[in-house]
Amino acid sequence: MHIPDGYLSPSTCATMYVASAGFWWQALRRTRRQMLGRALPRLALMAAFCFVVMLFNLPLPGGTTGHALGVGIAAIVLGPWGGMMAVSLALAIQALFFGDGGITTLGANCFNMAIAGSITAWGLYQLIGMGSTANSKRRLVAAALAGYGSINLAALLAAIELGIQPMLFHDASGAPLYAPYPLHVAIPAMMLGHLTIAGVAEALMTAGLFGYLRRNEPGLVGLAKDDGATPRTPRSLWGGLALLMLLAPLGILAGGAAWGEWAPKDFADQAARAQIAAASGNVAAPAVAPLGLARLAGVWTAPLPDYAPRFVKSAGFGYFLSALFGVGIILGVVWLVQIFSGRGGGGMAEGAAEISEERER
Amino acid sequence: MSAHPVASTLRGFSQALARTLVSEDAAHSGGLLQGIDPRAKLVGMLALVVASALAHRVPTLLALLAVGVGLAVASRINLWSLARRVWLVAFVFTFMIAAPAMFLTPGVVLWQWGGVVMTANGVHTAVLLVLRVEAAVTLSTLLVLTTPWMWLLKALRTLGVPVEVIALLAMTHRYLVLLAETANQMFESRQSRVVGKLKGAEQRHMMINTGGVLLSKTMAMGDEVYMAMLARGFRGEVRLLADFRMKVRDWVAVAALLAVAAGAVVAGR
């Protein structure tokens, strides 16, 4: 997954450096605040640890072996910003010093593995582990899926970056100038190995290390020993959720239909056709709706079409009600999952609160 | 033994450590690139790497590769070692990826056997990819081989890399070797206490447990390093001693490298 020099065009490399720079800047800004503390040596040593873990050749079920990246455990221990800094440092040293991964492609490699990987790992760990107690199996599963999800998203991003090269960069005769395989080849080729081997290695390594730390150093993974105390409800999360629901009507500020979300009737409507053409680089839409679209569009009729119940006249209020309804369904499903997994008494996001409080300390 | 995952991990550590030592040796031996200011060398060599990424023509890439070989010879880099460690590895890895493109890329048919068709476009794409990777890897390896790591890090300031990042990179590199050695010793001590052959799940458990202990040691070491930093007067500010001075030969070198890079960009279009 470490893309070497020469596989990506310079413009792709520059774009990925710019994309990564924003995250690096933000991560550094947050780290700078902690420079008087232990952040500097901890980040450096976690980066060194990630590098060493990348050398581990882990035996996998089925007899094969695979290498982990360490991005999952780095994100769980240091949080998303610390994780992306640590893994970026490890990747930079690999590229600069060991020639593993290119210098021109370092921005892309860091974006895929360190940045997207850390955010995904941390997000999945929080989402799935949310509400579970410190010693629950769910947290272990959350750590495993954090590792698995992060490595596979990173692989998918790398495959997309490689797969768009022949479309965008080819000579007059059509011969690709950089990575030669289009998306329909690059994505399956990259994902096959990561879904089956590298992802499993990362999942096992993340869950294994998480389990070890939970037993022996719970503070490092933001957990206190499970003392059965009633967890606190994180008010900030509820407040943020309420704010997002109130902001839901902002969506109606944008006029017209979202690109690619057209209804069959839009193809016959002149105003809608003009909008489609304007949003599609002045390429006119087909005269009639494509047959497949027309056939499948009526398969399912949503109970709240266009986010507005029929009895509500105000579009803004309709959006707010839809947000309330959607959040209610999600909370209901999570509540049911908690009941069936025997964790009904826990606060909704107790785990997230513990971890965020630990990070703030 | 060679297929044993623990053994292959140990071999990885040994190779990484050996490469560290070899790199420092080459960086201190007298030669053309070793005598150039690290900042001039960094800018010039990176320009050549970017030029190789921009080149769309085979002769340009061959010329850049030749420049790399010439610089290696003038810098007293062992060509056999370079070929074995860099060119061969890059060739095998890239050729494995590029070879199917010779048959999958549409274009003028060069050779056909049944349903297998090799096209001119495919061959051109594969050759371009292999040569570009070889040129870029050669040039970037020369930069690293001929520059002591700390000098290279300090030179990164020229590109606007924040001082904290440079300090983090330096610290990571320093403790990387220590952690690798620690892991190596942990594996060896564990291996010496194992009788018979471990099953896959047992090996996995052993490696993850070793990784866990290593992570605990890592974080503890982070705290120890912090204490040591405090004891030496660390107040949250990172400073680097930048004692480089550009001489005439450094200006000439950077101008020459940039001129070659610019020429390659123009010729490679």
**A265 occurs within a structural domain:** yes
Q: What CA–CA distance (Å, rounded) separates B121 from A121?
A: 41
pLDDT the model gives residue A287:
77
Final residue before a domain boundary, out of A197, A221, A245:
A221
pLDDT the model gives residue A352:
35
Final residue before a domain boundary, out of A221, A247, A268:
A221
Closest residue in A to B93 (Cα) is A4
B116 class by beta-carbon count within 10 Å (0-12 exposed, 13-18 middle, 19+ buried): exposed
Do the beta carbons of residue A210 and residue A139 sit within 8 Å? yes
**B221 occurs within a structural domain:** yes
pLDDT the model gives residue A351:
36
**A3 occurs within a structural domain:** no
What Cα–Cα distance (Å) separates residue B228 from each residue in A35, A41, B1, B172, B240? 15, 10, 41, 16, 18
Segments forming the whole domain that contains residue A21: 10-221
Identify whether residues A154 and A254 lie together within a single domain: no
Identify whether residues A202 and A273 lie together within a single domain: no
Q: How far is A326 from chain B (nearest CA, A)?
A: 41
| Number of structural domains chain A divides into | 2
Pairwise CB contact (< 8 Å): B169 & A92: yes
Identify whether residues A311 and A334 lie together within a single domain: yes
Q: How far is A131 from chain B (nearest CA, A)?
A: 25
Identify whether residues A99 and A144 lie together within a single domain: yes
**Tokens 């900042």 label which residue?**
B39
Identify whether residues A255 and A322 lie together within a single domain: yes
Closest residue in A to B147 (Cα) is A97
Q: What angle do CA A154, A75, A123 make, to 5 degrees?
A: 70
Identify whether residues A129 and A264 lie together within a single domain: no
Contacts of A72 in chain B (CB under 8 A): none
| Cβ neighbour number for residue B42 with a 10 Å cutoff | 22
> Which one, of A55, A49, A69, A47, lies nearest residue A200 by Cα?
A69
> What is the three-class DSSP state of B108?
coil
- Total-model pTM: 0.73
Q: How far is A253 from chain B (nearest CA, A)?
A: 40
Identify whether residues A276 and A215 lie together within a single domain: no
Do the beta carbons of residue A115 and residue A81 sit within 8 Å? no
**B95 occurs within a structural domain:** no
Q: What CA–CA distance (Å, rounded) separates A199 from A121?
A: 12
* Ramachandran class of A228: left when φ > 0, alpha when ψ lies in -120 to 50, beta otherwise: left
Q: How far is A236 from chain B (nearest CA, A)?
A: 30
What Cα–Cα distance (Å) separates residue A325 from each residue in A61, A310, A315, A332? 43, 15, 15, 10
**B262 occurs within a structural domain:** no
Identify whether residues A153 and A248 lie together within a single domain: no
Contacts of A35 in chain B (CB under 8 A): 164, 236-238
Bridge partners of B116, per DSSP, are B113
Q: What is the pLDDT along chain B (269 residues), one digit of tens a residue?
A: 444 566 666 666 667 666 666 666 667 777 888 888 989 999 999 999 999 999 989 999 999 999 999 999 998 888 888 888 788 988 898 888 888 888 888 888 888 887 788 888 889 889 999 999 999 999 998 998 888 888 888 888 888 888 888 888 888 888 887 888 888 888 888 878 877 777 778 888 888 888 888 888 888 888 888 888 888 887 766 666 667 788 888 899 899 999 999 998 888 77
Q: How far is A19 from chain B (nearest CA, A)?
A: 16
**A266 occurs within a structural domain:** yes
> What is the three-class DSSP state of A58?
strand
How high is the ipTM of this complex? 0.83
Contacts of A204 in chain B (CB under 8 A): 204, 208
| Number of structural domains chain B divides into | 1
Identify whether residues A39 and A93 lie together within a single domain: yes
pLDDT the model gives residue B20:
65
Contacts of A46 in chain B (CB under 8 A): 218-219, 222
Question: Which residues of chain A from 207 to 236 reach within 8 Å of chain B, CB to CB?
Answer: 208-209, 211-213, 216-217, 220
Q: How far is A176 from chain B (nearest CA, A)?
A: 6
**A329 occurs within a structural domain:** yes
Q: How far is B39 from chain A (nearest CA, A)?
A: 15
Handedness of CA A131, A136, A139, A144 (dihedral sign): negative
Bridge partners of A57, per DSSP, are A67
Pairwise CB contact (< 8 Å): B211 & A179: no
Segments forming the whole domain that contains residue B222: 163-231
Residue with the larger pLDDT of the pair A167 and A152: A152
Do the beta carbons of residue A105 and residue A97 sit within 8 Å? no
**B180 occurs within a structural domain:** yes
Any A CB within 8 A of B206 CB: no
Question: Which residues of chain B from 11 to 70 reach within 8 Å of chain A, CB to CB?
Answer: 12-13, 16, 19-20, 23, 46, 49-50, 52-54, 56
DSSP single-letter state for residue A230: P
| Cβ neighbour number for residue B59 with a 10 Å cutoff | 11
- Band the pLDDT of A229: cuts 50, 70, 90: very low
- Best residue of B15, B86, B103, B125 to probe chain A, by most A CBs closer than 10 Å: B125
Identify whether residues A321 and A208 lie together within a single domain: no
Pairwise CB contact (< 8 Å): A40 & B223: no
> With b meaning 16 or more CB within 10 Å and e meaning fewer, what string describes A312-325?
beeeeebbbbbbee
- Band the pLDDT of A350: cuts 50, 70, 90: very low
pLDDT the model gives residue A316:
74
**A5 occurs within a structural domain:** no
Q: What CA–CA distance (Å, rounded) separates B164 from A30?
A: 12
pLDDT the model gives residue A292:
72
pLDDT the model gives residue A141:
92
**A295 occurs within a structural domain:** no
**A171 occurs within a structural domain:** yes
**B98 occurs within a structural domain:** no
B88 class by beta-carbon count within 10 Å (0-12 exposed, 13-18 middle, 19+ buried): exposed
Identify whether residues A28 and A50 lie together within a single domain: yes
The partner residue sitting opposite A180, judged by closest CB among B101, B168, B179, is B101
Residue A22 C-alpha from the chain's centroid: 16
For the domain that residue A215 is a member of, what is the CATH number? 1.10.1760.20
Bridge partners of B119, per DSSP, are B109
Question: How many inter-chain contacts (A to B, CB under 8 Å) are there?
Answer: 245
The partner residue sitting opposite A177, judged by closest CB among B56, B137, B229, is B56
The partner residue sitting opposite B225, judged by closest CB among A36, A41, A103, is A41
pLDDT digits 0-9 by tens, A19-52: 999 999 998 888 776 655 677 888 888 888 888 8
Identify whether residues A18 and A160 lie together within a single domain: yes
- What pairing do the DSSP bridges indicate for beta strands B116-119 and A65-67? unpaired
> Which one, of A50, A82, A84, lies nearest residue A68 by Cα?
A50
**B222 occurs within a structural domain:** yes
Pairwise CB contact (< 8 Å): A35 & B19: no
pLDDT the model gives residue A359:
44
The partner residue sitting opposite A174, judged by closest CB among B50, B106, B152, is B106
Q: What CA–CA distance (Å, rounded) separates A44 from A31?
A: 12
The partner residue sitting opposite B16, judged by closest CB among A49, A55, A104, is A55
